[in-house]
Structure 1
């Protein structure tokens, strides 16, 4: 998905260079490792929109823009308040009376907005908004969330003035009286869908997606979700049509029996897809350049860097070889067997600083205010499985997965057919016993003739391994020792982290608990080990992870400050 900047002015007389400024800002969002397409820009009265690196799969009609994909192409999606289609998308639309912006039911794409007495700015990029405003007001409330989750958390943005449009919500501006409202969306799913069961709706989402197979590829793994899409694509494709699939991972994992990449390779052979495997080997580019690209592309919303330390070479290749969109298997079924609320929050990336024993001992971190929003707390009548699925839908997808998608959007579009509004609505109405352990997906796969085994081993390295590498540690220490760091964090806190990071790990003797864990790991069956792992889950945050997340805060504040200063002259 291109990054979009969408602006409506209150006054009819808008600055004469506004379109030029907006277009320039979106062009500055392009990655440094590709020759991006020229920005798209359109103006209609008081509304201006611009897209960075626009692709042919993106729908544009003047200042009306559809990012993603809708399933019913017959109705007009460009008229405000008229039609809220089935699909997986973000829509920006306006006329002389109204500006309206909304996403799909789960807000799988994040839209940010800024609103004052003179202007409404909506964007899929916080950097774009800050660039346009030419100033930056850091919201310190993100600090505890980045430290405990590696993300911005459920409530805030980098800038205290910028807000997120909630899921299943339409932002509507009535231009004449300059009144902004957030209204719940009732999606138009069509009469034919009401009589369909879940499997039929999944079939419909894949069969009616109307995507050009020459421009799209399926991100294929060894799991259930992307396999379901593969089998359905194979079922509905024409005889001459060739499905394109891609997989990435550590070098040689394609040949490691039972790995994600190996199973994906076997599936590609069985279904005769045009398959490509990409290595996630670490780039030889300077570490500070790799980090800056990672932070600018994803805007510091997530710390999952493992698949991007190759310098985004995968996504550069896809863009330069006419892959315009990626199909993903993101969906609403979780394989987690929850042991507790804490177990669910940890799995979904919703930990608090107070969940980690070592973080609570640091005075600065212990002083930070942080809480689970009321709407994400477990309800009285909610069992653990229901709570798990609600946190997946209301937090994991719109916050964590949306941030991961953001990293790829500067290069390609994305469509998640299993997150289409009609499917999400149906899954939420299903009993627990059918949602648990992906039973519905397994049943559909069997009906489609699946015979290939499922992956037992991942194909990418844990991000914690990268955080501990020597060149990464050096970069972390450099940032923690900087003046910029001292402007954000207390010196005593920085010194505590720096001292711990410098301690050699090899010389540290194992605790009795670690010796017991090592012995049990060899002696016990996998099923028992998993149960024990949940029951005695470590309650400490690795110091290298803490250091990396502090570095993200320092570097992102610097990037955003530079963004605001550079655009004052525009």
Structure 2
């Protein structure tokens, strides 16, 4: 996938040229992506740039869409035409109007900003900060990043930048120079359903949705795990005559470990007679600062999920180098874990706030009063806790948490998530609570439809927090927390608390992975879920607070250097 950059301007004062767009594209393209020229189209007082490997992305004039459509949408490039289905980011212009569109699930993030002279939109916050030639740091985004690992429901790192909501149209009237945002609120309206009839109807909707995607016009691959989602998609594709190459990635030691994603995925691919690759994602031997910089360059700082990319994103860069245009992902919204309270429902989907684990005074000090939960994401009178939980999953976890993970991969491949299609999610919002909790209905469908291969009990990569306790990363965290950037982000007392915690943290030279694998093979998954439900909200550790602070510190310097590069070029 590439990133898209769109700009239009009111007159000569805000004018940009092709060189400006190319310079920004060069800045935001990761250093390990080479040999993929940017695609730039200039129109009347507007310009469009697709960066890096354009893969299955499509451009028509100064309109472009990333991702993949479900079905045929011949007028996709015309503002005001019907909203396509699929998983995509869409910018379209006819010279008079400009329209940004997000898909029903919000699987890709579009950021935008309107100034007196320019309208700018991009899938990359870095591109917008660079084009504005300066960073106006957003304290609310930092507060959300500390508490939840994302930038929160609507914030960007620059206070002028806005996130396009899911299932939304944003229309710019270039004559009046005004914006009109049109959104559709998420409504969960569970209705009585017979369990068997529900599963049958959901199965038909899912099959039709998956088969509407065209995975033959470009080279699409399917990352295959040992779980339900990707296995189900693969079965439907093969049934329809599509046989995508598959792959799994993780540690070398995982491939021969029974019950592991890598071990199970290989058996599934063999069942269907498909080509299957196992890609190593071992930690890079590069200094942590270099690994972090690659991650931030690609992600734009929208997530703290560094652990899957500790190889320095070499594996994802290899996809672009090998000609893979896109990957088919199993992201879905069939329901979430059991929760007991409103707070547990909120924190379970990543909407943790500073006030959930700090005193009111401490939270206000860190956030400077800027962290607030939007009214649309609050619990409603008469709404069941499971319905609230899954409404937040659709309204926050998918368009903020999962979309941020797509941002990391975006510079390298296109992404399609057929289980996030409009018809699928619309039906899920009508299902009874008990058929959504723990994905009960979907899990039964997948078990009945899949091959006779066991399900994995653990992933093929390393434990998500192991790296924080390694000597190189502990050393890097201490160095970053002592930087001048962190002095501007945190009160001195907080920086001292984080450094004290790191000083007390011991190295973990070996992983406890083998012990965890043994336990997972003997403890039923249902028991583990029941225990987690009783434990209540999972709150961030001091280690993750230190990591998030360090990532934010380095990201601020990256954004400031992006802006400075454009200022210098302008001079």
TM-score (norm 2): 0.89
Question: Paired residue for 1:116?
Answer: 115
Question: Paired residue for 2:195?
Answer: none
Deviation at 1:181, TM superposition (A): 0.6
Question: Paired residue for 2:417?
Answer: 416
One of 203, 211, 234 as aligned partner of 1:199: 203
Deviation at 1:496, TM superposition (A): 2.1
Q: Is the 8 A contact 2:232 2:450 kept in 1?
A: no
Deviation at 1:529, TM superposition (A): 5.8
The answer to whether structure 1 residue 305 and structure 2 residue 306 are counterparts is yes
Q: Is the 8 A contact 2:15 2:45 kept in 1?
A: no
Q: 1:550 to 1:320 in 2, by over 3 A?
A: same
Deviations 1:113-148 (A, max 9, x none): 110222110111110011111111001112221111
The secondary structure found in structure 1 opposite 2:255 is: helix
Q: Distance in 1 between matches of 2:277 and 2:507?
A: 39
Deviations 1:7-33 (A, max 9, x none): 11123x476752220122112211111
Q: Distance in 2 between matches of 1:14 and 1:201?
A: 51
Q: Distance in 2 between matches of 1:536 and 1:567?
A: 49
Q: Is the 8 A contact 1:3 1:52 kept in 2?
A: yes
Question: Paired residue for 1:10?
Answer: 10
Deviations 1:137-166 (A, max 9, x none): 001112221111111111311000001111
Q: Which moved more, 1:464-473 or 1:334-343?
A: 334-343
Q: 1:148 to 1:360 in 2, by over 3 A?
A: farther
Q: Distance in 1 between matches of 2:9 and 2:240?
A: 46
Q: Is the 8 A contact 2:173 2:179 kept in 1?
A: yes
Q: Is the 8 A contact 1:58 1:66 kept in 2?
A: yes
Q: What number of residue pairs does the alignment pair up?
A: 545
Q: Which runs of 4+ in 1 moved over 4 A?
A: 13-17, 357-364, 366-369, 504-507, 523-530, 537-540
One of 223, 236, 240 as aligned partner of 1:236: 240
Q: 1:368 to 1:465 in 2, by over 3 A?
A: farther
1:243-262 equivalences in 2 (<5 Å) = 243-262=244-263
The answer to whether structure 1 residue 77 and structure 2 residue 81 are counterparts is no
Q: 1:98 to 1:527 in 2, by over 3 A?
A: closer
Q: Is the 8 A contact 2:2 2:410 kept in 1?
A: yes
Question: Paired residue for 2:188?
Answer: none
Q: 1:243 to 1:370 in 2, by over 3 A?
A: same
Q: 1:46 to 1:54 in 2, by over 3 A?
A: farther
Deviation at 1:554, TM superposition (A): 0.8
Q: Which moved more, 1:548-557 or 1:358-367?
A: 358-367
Q: 1:327 to 1:360 in 2, by over 3 A?
A: farther
The answer to whether structure 1 residue 218 and structure 2 residue 219 are counterparts is no
Q: 1:87 to 1:217 in 2, by over 3 A?
A: same
Deviations 1:329-374 (A, max 9, x none): 0011134122222332232111112222599878944865533222
Structure 2 stretches lacking a partner, 5+ long: 186-199, 509-518
The answer to whether structure 1 residue 470 and structure 2 residue 471 are counterparts is yes
Deviation at 1:524, TM superposition (A): 9.1
Structure 1 stretches lacking a partner, 5+ long: 187-195, 508-519
The secondary structure found in structure 1 opposite 2:489 is: coil
Aligned residues: CA RMSD: 2.7
The secondary structure found in structure 2 opposite 1:218 is: strand
Question: Paired residue for 1:34?
Answer: 33
Q: 1:30 to 1:529 in 2, by over 3 A?
A: closer
The secondary structure found in structure 2 opposite 1:467 is: helix
Question: Paired residue for 2:189?
Answer: none
The secondary structure found in structure 2 opposite 1:346 is: helix
Q: 1:417 to 1:183 in 2, by over 3 A?
A: same
Question: Paired residue for 2:530?
Answer: 531
The secondary structure found in structure 2 opposite 1:476 is: helix
TM-score (norm 1): 0.89
Question: Paired residue for 1:269?
Answer: 270
